[in-house]
Amino acid sequence: MSNNDLQQALRAIGFKGSVRRNVPMHTMTSFRIGGPARYLLFPADRTDMHRLLTLFEARGLSCRMLGNWTNLLVADEGVPYPLIRLTRGFVELRRDTTMVQAEAGAPLHALLRFCAREGLSGLEPLAGIPGTVGGSIRMNAGSWGTEVADVLSSVNVITPSGEATTMQRHEINATYRDIGLSHRHIILWGMFSLRPADPAAIRRSLREFHHRKRNTQPLTLPSPGCIFKNPPGTSAGKLIDEAGGKGLRKGDAMVCPLHANFIVNAGAAQARDVMDLIDTIRDRVFRVHGITLELEVEILT
Q: Which tens digit of pLDDT belongs to each residue from 46-91? A: 899 989 988 988 888 888 988 888 999 999 999 999 999 988 789 9
Report, as an integer, the average pLDDT of 22-48. Answer: 94
Backbone φ and ψ for 280, nearest 5 degrees, come out as: -65, -45
Q: Place 3 in a pLDDT band, splitting at 50, 70 and 90.
A: confident
The answer to whether 30 and 225 are in contact (CB under 8 A) is yes
- Predicted local distance difference test score (pLDDT) of residue 270: 98
CA–CA distance, 243 with 239 (Å, rounded to integer): 6
| Domains of the chain, first to last | 3-85 (3.30.43.10), 91-216 (3.30.465.10), 236-300 (3.90.78.10)
User: Which neighbouring-strand residues pair with 249?
Assistant: 254
Q: Is 287 exposed, middle or buried (0-12, 13-18, 19+ CB in 10 A)?
A: exposed
Residue 90 parent element (H or E): none
Q: Which tens digit of pLDDT belongs to each residue from 161-181? A: 778 899 999 999 999 999 999
pTM value surpassing 0.75: yes
Q: Is 97 exposed, middle or buried (0-12, 13-18, 19+ CB in 10 A)?
A: exposed
Report, as an integer, the average pLDDT of 125-133. Answer: 93
- Give the largest Cα separation in the chain, rounded: 58
Q: Which tens digit of pLDDT belongs to each residue from 250-273? A: 999 999 999 999 999 999 999 999
- Predicted local distance difference test score (pLDDT) of residue 285: 98
Mean pLDDT of the chain: 94
